[in-house]
Amino acid sequence: MSKPTRESSSDGSGQAADESGKIVQADVPDSMMSLLTALRATGGSDTDQAPSESGVPKAASPARLPVGSSLDPDRIDVWLFDLDNTLYPASCRLFEQIDRAMGRYVADLLSLEPAEARALQKQYFREHGTTLRGLMTHHDIDPHDYLSVVHDIDHTPVQPNPRLDAALNRLPGRKLVFTNGSVPHAEAVLQRLGVTRHFEAIFDIVASDFVPKPDPAPYRELLVRYGIDPTRAFFAEDSARNLVPAHALGMATLYVQHGADWNVDPHEGADYIHHRCEDLADWLEGVVGADRA
User: Site residues (CB under 5 A) for Mg ion?
Assistant: 82, 84-86, 238
Long-range pairs of 261-264 with CB within 8 A, sequence gap ≥ 24: 263/85, 263/90, 263/238, 263/239
User: Percentages helix, strand, coil for the chain, rounded to the nearest 5?
Assistant: 45, 10, 45
Query: Shortest distance, CB of residue 45 to Mg ion, whole angstroms?
Result: 26
The DSSP bridge partners found for residue 201 are: 176
Query: Shortest distance, CB of residue 133 to Mg ion, whole angstroms?
Result: 16
Q: Between 8 and 131, name the residue whose CB sits nearer to Mg ion.
A: 131
Query: Shortest distance, CB of residue 190 to Mg ion, whole angstroms?
Result: 14
Query: Shortest distance, CB of residue 82 to Mg ion, whole angstroms?
Result: 4
Q: Between 82 and 215, name the residue whose CB sits nearer to Mg ion.
A: 82
Label residues 176-209 b or e (16+ Cβ within 10 Å = b): bbbbbbbbebbbbbbebbebbebbbbbbbbebbe
Query: Shortest distance, CB of residue 236 to Mg ion, whole angstroms?
Result: 10
Q: Between 62 and 181, name the residue whose CB sits nearer to Mg ion.
A: 181
The whole-angstrom distance between residue 127's C-alpha and the CA centroid of its chain comes to 18
Query: Shortest distance, CB of residue 181 to Mg ion, whole angstroms?
Result: 9
Q: Rounded to the nearest 5°, which phi and psi values hold at 2?
A: -80, 145
Query: DSSP secondary-structure letter at 17?
Result: B
The DSSP bridge partners found for residue 233 are: 78
Residue 118 makes CB contacts below 8 A (sequence gap 6+) with: 103, 106
Q: Between 187 and 238, name the residue whose CB sits nearer to Mg ion.
A: 238
Q: Between 62 and 214, name the residue whose CB sits nearer to Mg ion.
A: 214
Q: Between 84 and 187, name the residue whose CB sits nearer to Mg ion.
A: 84
Specify the 3-state DSSP secondary structure of 107: helix
